[in-house]
Structure 1
């Protein structure tokens, strides 16, 4: 039997944006976890975090890499890039726009068909107590369009809200990137 195709997914964003918590949540599965109990975080040294899943009646091996340091990812060859920000931190979103997106363009200039997704994490911390810090989905979607991302997604790894759907959407896009037509969205940014 053929080995399943290995698909590399690179999560980029500021430290403390929630990338490790997101990966920890999906490694534990979406069910059976009480949101009041602390989630055991995966360790950076255990990377890549590998998930074997079947899509389109075919097995795939998805290797997730999580980093907040450009030195750690410039040698990788990702099939999908997920730019991550903390929904409760406007600075986190600004850094995705001004730092991370520019670094992706600089490092991966030869790859024009590389799908890029924007993922808002810590959805459970969206609060109306700080009107200047609130990042509503409409604003994030508009920014994703301006950045020419293929998709905008958001979830809460702590509560588990939308984690399964986001994980499935990332993996579906990654699986599509192995096909000749690629994983890019037709006609611009989509909202999950």
Structure 2
């Protein structure tokens, strides 16, 4: 007989947060293969991990400061947070500890966090390196991402590229695993 939860499907909710223009919307699009440009409509994707079939609801949020009051409306009943920064923007990594981790710890205490370094393809891009040199910065190194993950007590740190699709599926598989392990809500 088929287990009832397989028929009903386990439902989990993922909310993506991070700075404006850190690549989170592109990452969601790359995973769902959806078109469109600036707006990602919340949707549900079927994903299978460890023999469990999960309906993963994907919620994008607006990173702008103006939306600070509205963002919390996305947070209830979240099972996993996808916290994003861009490898070509050290400032977006910095904002993980100053803006995003505190906001999430306030509204979603104990919800597992996947820290994702987006735009991995730009780390060795000569133009990116040149532009960052002008402001005395360089692309985020893997160690810096890992250190931040440790600092905010993330479940996992992953790097990906929505352009090349490298690492995209891993991000959502590991996020789903984290959501399945999270016992925050029945």
Alignment TM class, shorter chain as reference: 0.7 to 0.9
Cα deviation code 1:106-153 (max 9, x no counterpart) = 223xx33x2112111011111343352321001110121112112111
2:72 alignment counterpart: 74
Specify every segment of 5 or more residues in structure 1 that has no aligned partner in the other structure, as ranges.
30-38, 181-192
CA-atom RMSD in angstroms: 2.3
2:97 alignment counterpart: 97
Q: 1:124 aligns with which of 121, 126, 130?
A: 121
Query: Where do 4+ consecutive residues of structure 1 move more than 3 Å?
Result: 39-42, 69-73, 127-131
Contact 1:55 1:175 in 2 (8 A): no
Secondary structure at the counterpart of residue 74 of structure 1? helix
Report how far residue 179 of structure 1 moved: 9.4
Specify every segment of 5 or more residues in structure 2 that has no aligned partner in the other structure, as ranges.
none
Report how far residue 95 of structure 1 moved: 1.2
State the TM-score, normalized to the length of structure 1. Answer: 0.77
State the TM-score, normalized to the length of structure 2. Answer: 0.79
Aligned pair count? 166
1:171 alignment counterpart: 176
Cα deviation code 1:14-43 (max 9, x no counterpart) = 1111111111111129xxxxxxxxx64473
1:186 alignment counterpart: none
Secondary structure at the counterpart of residue 157 of structure 1? coil
